[in-house]
Each structure stands twice: as structure tokens, then as C-alpha cells.
Amino acid sequence: MATERLTITLPDRLAADLKKRAKARKKPVSKLIAEALEAERERALRERLVEGYKANSEENRRLAEEWWPISAETWPRD
């Protein structure tokens, strides 16, 4: 994976907390930041997916009800 060096500015309190957490986890500060950003990315994706499922739920329900009789005719019975 390609990497890029960045310079960031943080409030002293936040920088101290970040260094403390990185030391406790025995990870570089940059790794801790990368993991936090990746977790936020995944959370945002899940949120968008849930919104999409909810937005389509009524149409999905309608289609399922419409096709249920046909699928019942074609599914094998034991």
C-alpha cells in the first residue's frame, strides 16, 4: 500500500492523548490515526447502506408480494 507523509496540527490536549493511546497500544501514532480514519469510513459506508435499504424497502416489499405466488408455483416441494 502506498503511503504519503503528512504534517497535521492538533490541539495540545488531543496530541497528548493520541500519543498516550499509541504508546499504550504499542503502535505508531500514524497507524492509530489510519485505523481511526478507516473505522470512520466503514461506519459511514454502513450508514449509507442502511439508508439505501430503508429507501428501497417499500418497493422491495411490493415486489416480493407481487412475485410470491409465482415463486410458490416454481419452488420444489418436499
> Mind listing the pLDDT tens digit of every residue in the chain (78 residues)?
799 999 999 999 999 999 999 999 999 999 999 999 999 999 999 999 999 999 999 999 999 888 888 877 777 776
Closest-CA residue to 37 (of 45, 69, 17): 45
- The pLDDT, as a whole number, for residue 67 is 87
Distances, alpha carbon 63 to alpha carbons 50, 56, 66, 74, 75, in Å:
19, 11, 5, 17, 17
- The pLDDT, as a whole number, for residue 12 is 98
- The pLDDT, as a whole number, for residue 78 is 66
- Give pTM, 2 decimals: 0.68
